[in-house]
């Protein structure tokens, strides 16, 4: 991640993904950066489809592709030989390769050797390779919004990206800042903050969101939850390093327990809001929670309206489902 | 740190430490584990002294030393050749070597080669090498006490070790659990939790403090502070992974600002107590703050008594200076 900047256009690699969920990262890239993607490359047996046109490495090269994006989960820890062949072919065709796999493609001999020989770049986006300073908490210029959650996987990335789109449509200066693998492909760079050494969590986020124009918004992708027993340390460092002016709480109302922790209930919204705001005040005493973003996909339209209305009443904050409603209400709250 | 267990007796290496502060780690080992230390080894120019008898590698070997402890800070990032020579000599004499340096002694060719050839073990205690699972928050048997702080370097390790000594003197089952380099030498093992990958902070502490006898106390060395903008993520993961039954707040009353952050004031004690207890309730709803340990070394006896009394009144908790008073009052609070 040495000053990572993944060049687009992208060719999105799906391998032989056994279902659509295995291609979740590729789906995110195709959805949010359709204009950066020339197509998808699927191997025999692939059961996923991003909707991008299918093409070979040479067809993608002819369309200007600069990077192959490995946005898929492989079963087991070993890279299939068919995947390695495609990655090497892409390097030989002139592309860089960026991977979101847990294993490092740079550890695969044929891949590393080819990249070194040809001067191509390999990005293992789950594995930060640059060093960071420890966080300092010094106030920076520009404005920052961080999404936080009652739990993991509650729409924090989606909400940031929707707000980026809405702000840009209004002529505001706004940049999505990625802290996870899918977000990094979508932004073309970022920090996989959960993979940083513990002492440098807040420092890595300070690096990611430096001084900027006074009217510029960094929209920072949150991770985990202050109430998740596995990952709360990451979340707290992210809050302190972001020194957010504003936060949006992301929530999924039908979840029975914290993700991966069957016995852990979700926190009440009011407690979650208070705890996040108190934590944020350490590095930005003016930080406030400006709204709630709810993923109501498991509810029908009537239930969703009732739920969103109830949360507005309970919290006194604008409450939207970014998919059903858009995020104009959240952008209004910081404009 | 592959199931790290550093064998004692120790020979404590001071190198050519330019002052006593550079040998702070060695001092801690000599103070808390005098009975494990056969002596110290000092090179020409050394200005530090732990009070242990001076001896050569061969003299220490004759007295049964099993490990050389590199408990000293070296200036700059390069290991002096005189240090390498001593480390190699110790390996050749049959000792393992454990280092608290930032740089890895295992990266020094002559050291690694000698250790591999002779089957000795090298411990770079600042660098965890084993993998951890993510934290689960599942309740474990046994009792746990965690020291937390208003800031870094407020006596968290000292307080734990003093409580271990007091509990053992009372016939209680108690083990100090180390989370930093000096503590690891003192315990003969542990996890340098600030060097763990961010996703695994709480998981590493769960590994460090597994199920135990119902009447056994783990006394867990805290790190950082929930109110330190650089390191609070480490602290929160430590709290969640410890699932403490009890916490002791450690404080240094003359500090003008958070360590390393000139513009950051220390948190008020009441806010600090509430925030730590609320955080702990996520994985142990019965956790309570049982006392305050204050380092009053900068105050005279009268000032210290006044200050400790004022904190007892303010917090309603027993408040001691572990050095002036011992920690009987803290052990009473959990007995």
Handedness of CA B42, B48, B50, B52 (dihedral sign): positive
Residue A270 lies in a domain: yes
**Above 80 in pLDDT, residue A236?**
yes
What pLDDT shows up at residue B78? 78
**CA of B38 to nearest chain A CA: how many angstroms apart?**
34
**CA of A45 to nearest chain B CA: how many angstroms apart?**
32
**Above 50 in pLDDT, residue B141?**
yes
**CA of B85 to nearest chain A CA: how many angstroms apart?**
30
Domains identified in chain A, total number:
2
pLDDT by residue (tens digit) across B241-287? 999 999 999 999 999 999 999 999 999 999 999 999 999 999 999 99
Average pLDDT over residues A150-160: 97
| Residue B95 belongs to domain spanning | 10-124
pLDDT by residue (tens digit) across B59-89? 999 999 999 999 998 877 678 999 999 999 9
**Above 90 in pLDDT, residue A2?**
no
Mean pLDDT across chain A: 96
Judge if B188 and B247 occupy the same domain: yes
Question: Least CA distance to A285: which residue of chain B?
Answer: B264
Q: Is A164 helix (H, G, I), strand (E, B) or coil?
A: helix
Contact residues, chain A, for B236 at CB < 8 Å: 226, 232-233, 236
Phi, psi of A22 (to 5 degrees): -65, -15
Nearest by CB to residue A229, choosing from B136, B235, B264, is: B136
Phi, psi of A208 (to 5 degrees): -70, -25
CB burial of residue B316 (10 Å; 0-12, 13-18, 19+): exposed
The length of chain B in residues reads: 335
Contact B230 A261 (CB under 8 A): no
Contact A236 B233 (CB under 8 A): yes
Confidence band of B220 (pLDDT split at 50, 70, 90): very high
Contact residues, chain B, for A203 at CB < 8 Å: 230
Judge if A162 and A307 occupy the same domain: yes
* Cβ contacts of A69 within 8 Å, gap of 6 or more: A6, A10, A11, A12, A13, A26, A29, A98, A185
Judge if B179 and B328 occupy the same domain: yes
Nearest by CB to residue A229, choosing from B194, B275, B283, is: B283
* CA proximity to A311, closest of A277, A266, A268, A274: A268
User: Is residue A107 within 8 Å of residue A131, measured between CB atoms?
Assistant: no
Judge if B112 and B160 occupy the same domain: no
% of chain A beyond a pLDDT of 70: 99
pTM comes to 0.95
Residue A308 lies in a domain: yes
A216-220 and A10-15 as β-strands: parallel, antiparallel, unpaired? unpaired
Nearest by CB to residue A193, choosing from B135, B198, B201, is: B198
Nearest by CB to residue B136, choosing from A197, A202, A230, is: A230
Judge if B278 and B321 occupy the same domain: yes
What pLDDT shows up at residue A3? 58
Judge if B76 and B186 occupy the same domain: no
Question: Least CA distance to A237: which residue of chain B?
Answer: B233
pLDDT by residue (tens digit) across B110-122? 999 999 999 999 9
Terminal CA-to-CA distance of chain B, rounded, Å?
A: 33
pLDDT by residue (tens digit) across B10-42? 999 999 999 999 999 999 999 999 999 999 999
Q: What is the domain-level CATH number for residue A56?
A: 3.40.50.720
What pLDDT shows up at residue B2? 42
Query: Rounded to 5 degrees, what angle do the CA atoms B168, B172, B173 make?
Result: 90
**CA of B273 to nearest chain A CA: how many angstroms apart?**
14
If you write DSSP's letter for every residue of A264-321 in order, what string do you get? PPPPPHHHHHHHHHHHHTTT-TT-EEEEEEE--TTS-HHHHHHHHHHHHHHHSS-EE-
Judge if B116 and B147 occupy the same domain: no
Handedness of CA A271, A274, A277, A280 (dihedral sign): negative
pLDDT by residue (tens digit) across B166-177? 999 999 999 999
**CA of B190 to nearest chain A CA: how many angstroms apart?**
16
Residue B5 lies in a domain: no
Judge if A84 and A196 occupy the same domain: no
Contact A260 B134 (CB under 8 A): yes
Residue A209 lies in a domain: yes
Contact residues, chain B, for A198 at CB < 8 Å: 193-198, 201, 233-234, 237
Q: What is the ipTM of this complex?
A: 0.94
| Three-class secondary structure assignment of A63-101 | CCCCEEEECCCCCCCCCCHHHHHHHHHHHHCCCEEEECC
Nearest by CB to residue B227, choosing from A196, A197, A282, is: A282
User: Is residue B218 within 8 Å of residue B272, measured between CB atoms?
Assistant: no
The span from the CA of A215 to the CA of B232, in Å, is 29
Alpha helices in B51-151 (DSSP H): 57-62, 81-92, 109-118
């Amino acid at each position: 991640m040495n000053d990572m900047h993944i060049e687009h256009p992208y060719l999105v690699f799906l391998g032989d993904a056994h279902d659509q969920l295995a291609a979740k990262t590729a789906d995110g890239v195709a959805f949010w950066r359709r204009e950066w993607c020339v197509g998808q490359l699927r191997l025999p047996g692939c059961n996923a489809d991003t909707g991008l046109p299918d093409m070979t490495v040479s067809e993608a090269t002819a369309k200007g592709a600069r990077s192959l994006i490995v946005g898929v989960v492989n079963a087991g820890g070993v890279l299939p030989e068919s995947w390695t062949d495609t990655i090497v072919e892409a390097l030989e065709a002139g592309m860089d390769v960026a991977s979101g796999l847990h294993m490092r493609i740079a550890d695969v001999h044929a891949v590393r050797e080819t990249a070194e020989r040809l001067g191509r770049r390999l990005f293992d986006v789950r594995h930060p390779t640059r060093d960071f300073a420890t966080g300092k908490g010094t106030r920076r210029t520009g404005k920052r919004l961080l999404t936080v959650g009652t739990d993991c996987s509650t729409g924090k990335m989606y909400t940031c990206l929707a707000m980026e789109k809405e702000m840009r449509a209004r002529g505001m200066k706004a940049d999505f800042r990625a802290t996870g693998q899918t977000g990094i492909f979508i932004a073309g760079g970022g920090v996989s903050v959960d993979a940083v050494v513990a002492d440098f969590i807040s420092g890595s986020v300070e690096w990611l969101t430096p001084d900027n124009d006074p009217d510029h918004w960094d929209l920072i992708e949150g991770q985990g939850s202050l109430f998740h027993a596995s990952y709360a340390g990451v979340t707290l460092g992210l809050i302190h390093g972001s020194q957010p002016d504003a936060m949006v709480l992301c929530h999924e109302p039908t979840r029975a327990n914290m993700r991966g922790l069957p016995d852990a209930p979700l926190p009440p919204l009011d407690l979650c809001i208070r705890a996040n705001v108190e934590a944020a005040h350490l590095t930005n005493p003016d930080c406030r929670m400006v709204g709630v973003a709810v993923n109501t996909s498991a509810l029908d339209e009537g239930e969703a309206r009732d739920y969103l209305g109830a949360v507005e009443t309970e919290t006194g904050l604008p409450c939207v489902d970014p998919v059903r409603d858009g995020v104009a209400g959240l952008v209004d709250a910081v404009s």
